[in-house]
Amino acid sequence: MQMEEEKLDVYYTKLNLEEIRNLIKEGKFVEVKKIFTDLLKKIQPLDVPLLLDLISKTDRAAGLLKDESVLLLLGSTGAGKSTAIHFLAGSNLEFEKVSGGVHHLTVKEVFHPDLVDIKTSPYNRSETRYISGIKVDCSELGVNLKGNIVICDTPGFGDTAGAEVDIANGIGLY
């Protein structure tokens, strides 16, 4: 069975290479790039440079979490975890009407420097690719606690960002 699958892979790869030759002759380089990208995904299932970059970013978050009180936000993709962090850390938010008449709480002004990389979106798609933490003084939250808390943003459950994101975040939390 595996041998037959490998033969099919070789057959389709040869077809793709022939198609690439023809497209190059025709000057259709956008189509060539798409076919090469698809082929690369088949023969290199992981984007190693992306994986290493994401691991580096999760390592930074892990360092921030060490010996701190942590509020870890978990939920589905598009649930509002990133928006909640902006709210809790003091960003200026405003309701805005987006396509389809949907109202979205949009970040208008960011006051905490670590929030710059935390993106929000009115759409049900992943913006968060790695775990990140924002250290907030508890007194700024209006709660009767002393010290700091690290509020962590996480990729959503059911995220379709790819294996690189899953692997990097698994390593980062370990």
Q: Is the pLDDT of residue 5 over 70?
A: no
**Dihedral angle sign, alpha carbons of residues 126, 127, 128, 134:** negative
Whole-angstrom CA distances from 168 to 2, 77, 117 are: 30, 17, 17
Grouping H, G, I as helix, E, B as strand and the rest as coil, residue 45 is coil
Written as six digits, the tokens of 66 are 């060490």
Written as six digits, the tokens of 160 are 């379709």
16-62 pLDDT, tens digit per residue, is 788 888 889 999 989 888 888 888 777 767 888 888 888 888 887 77
Per-residue model confidence (pLDDT) at position 159: 65
Q: What span, in angstroms and rounded, lies between the C-alpha atoms of 47 and 168?
A: 12
pLDDT band with cut points at 50, 70 and 90 for residue 125: low
Q: Is the pLDDT of residue 7 over 70?
A: no
Per-residue model confidence (pLDDT) at position 161: 67
Q: Is the pLDDT of residue 128 over 70?
A: yes
Q: Is the pLDDT of residue 94 over 70?
A: yes
Apex 139 CA angle, 137 and 144, nearest 5: 125
DSSP 156: P
Average pLDDT over the chain, rounded to whole? 81
